[in-house]
Amino acid sequence: MLTKYMHRNLQPNTKIGWNLEIPTWIKNVEARTYAEENGLFFLETSAKTAINVNDIFYEIARRLPRAQPAQQPAGIDLANRPAERSQASSCCS
């Protein structure tokens, strides 16, 4: 069930791992090796002790693509048009 949720809701190339049965140093070495072999960023974190939690969020934010400035939309902005002349001020009145 968790796997289906993750496949539906996570972006491609998102890697999350946990396994309480494997010693931590093995998980760390394997994860770091996998990251290096695939050109990925690796940082071990701990929700329990808060080690590197802020750092991982800063690193994610730093690596996100910068937002592009909004482009001027094509067309006419009716809100900024000069006031139209009334018919009483036309040349034929």
Please write the tens of the pLDDT for every residue from 2-52: 456 555 666 666 666 655 555 666 678 888 898 899 888 888 888 888 889
Q: Is residue 4 part of a domain?
A: no
Does the reported pTM lie above 0.75? no
pLDDT in the model for residue 48: 84
pLDDT at 66 > cutoff 80: no
Q: Is residue 56 part of a domain?
A: yes
Q: Is residue 47 part of a domain?
A: yes
pLDDT at 68 > cutoff 60: yes
Residue 55 banded pLDDT, cuts 50, 70, 90: very high
Q: Is residue 72 part of a domain?
A: no
Number of domains observed in the structure of the chain:
1
Q: Is residue 87 part of a domain?
A: no
The whole domain housing 30 covers: 21-65
DSSP one-letter string for 25-88? HHHHHHHHHHHHHTT-------TTT-TTHHHHHHHHHHHSPPPPPPPPPSS--GGGPPPPPPGG
Q: Is residue 10 part of a domain?
A: no
pLDDT at 54 > cutoff 80: yes
Q: Is residue 78 part of a domain?
A: no
